[in-house]
Amino acid sequence: MIGVLMFLVGAILNWAYNVIHLVFLVGVWPLILLYPIIIFLLTLEYPQRLFLFIHKFNFPFFADFDQPEVFGFSPGRCRNFKIKTPDNVSLGMWHILPSVLYRQITDAQERHRKVPHGSLVTKGIQRRALIERPVFLYFHGNAGNRAAPTRIATYRNVSERLNCNVVAVDYRGFGDSEGSPTEADLAIDARAAYNWIVDQGVPHTNIVLLGHSLGTGVAARLARDLGKDGIFPRGLVLQAPYMSIPEAAFEYRAFQVVNLFYPLSFFPKIEEYLKNCILDRFNTRSHIPHLNIPVLMIHGAKDREIPVKNSQQLYATAVAAHLGPTKLSLAPEISLTGEEAFRDFVDKTEEVDGGFELEGRRYVSERNKSIVADGEVVGPPKAMFVELTHAHHNSVQAHDLTYDSIEDFLEIPDQASITGASNNSLSQLAE
């Protein structure tokens, strides 16, 4: 009996050894051999930009942007259009109306029952909405296009919860836009989209720059570029931002699991060399101290793709700038010192007993009114960091505290109707 048991145990161990050997032979060893090749390819321009922007993954595939109704919008609520950049690249864009205005128009239609649903949403009505309610210019993350479900959820929340306009742009190479993306070219696209809004008669103080993930770097650079020209929009909202692409790339977890560059952490010199090879850097951390508009950072504590320490570092940078032009070095390096150092540094700026403790934590810092932003690095006039307890990378836009914070921090006016839109006369609503 013992001999039989020993035979069975030996057979099982032999089988397990053969399986493990096969797995290494077929799966692991090829990956080990391919890994240096993959890393080398990522030092080259074309593969590197494919990896960063993932713009070839054009999801939703075969999207009909001319029919936003396919993605759940009511007729006439979302308008598709295109603009040209200064370097003659065509960009696809959407304008989503504030929900209150849209309901006023459709209510008028239902009363008169003389025209198809949504047909009264003319260009004149769209312009009126842009002028009379704040406009959120939205910059999305990498991969996919402006019709991706999580992005549409953001448009809906902004237009319904805040009763504001949303203008969403697909950068070059994304969606139905022409060209191929680079950091410099995305800066051109962002400015072109911003200028289109201004050309509709919208004052700068009624425009909010809203970015998510990769788009936070685009939005932050636009804010910095506008400031250099003496242009100051209403504010900058960064959802799941990063300090810079070189820093984010080496901690980014694809599908919240795989960190491609983790093995290189054991070889600091190679890691540093590869960071220097990154072409598109999107260095948001360097922009924050130079901004002269309110900056709101919102991040999920459960974000495994871009960890929350990125927003913590950006907020700590703003707080340090508020202490004076020479105080930036006081901001702790959170990657080295840990979260407790951040908590200690910004402790006095935390809002407590605000009634949202189960949802997250909010911190607010304001520049000393005695400090004048006259070319000095003094940080934004006010900064807020919202740490959402239960949010991950792509659920920030789903949390109530996100929109409560935007509304409070940027003082979005509470307006129940749009001037003139409630008039019963159809001629008043038409262009």
**Global pTM value:** 0.89
Q: Residue 386: beta bridge partners?
A: 298, 362
pLDDT at residue 170 above 90?
yes
Token output for 167: 């203008």
Residue percentage of the chain with pLDDT more than 90: 62
- The predicted pLDDT at position 143 comes to 95
pLDDT, average across residues 394-409: 95
pLDDT, average across residues 79-98: 97
CA 297, CA 290: separation in Å to the nearest integer? 16
CA 427, CA 431: separation in Å to the nearest integer? 8
CA 382, CA 49: separation in Å to the nearest integer? 34
- The predicted pLDDT at position 106 comes to 77
Q: With cut-offs at 50, 70 and 90, classify the pLDDT of residue 421.
A: very low
pLDDT at residue 295 above 90?
yes
CA 333, CA 251: separation in Å to the nearest integer? 15
pLDDT at residue 417 above 70?
no
User: What pairing do the DSSP bridges indicate for beta strands 207-212 and 135-139?
Assistant: parallel
pLDDT, average across residues 300-304: 94
pLDDT, average across residues 184-196: 98
Q: With cut-offs at 50, 70 and 90, classify the pLDDT of residue 123.
A: confident
Residue 259 contacts residue 253 (beta carbons within 8 Å):
yes
218 HSE (CA, 13 A, CB side): 32
- The predicted pLDDT at position 263 comes to 83
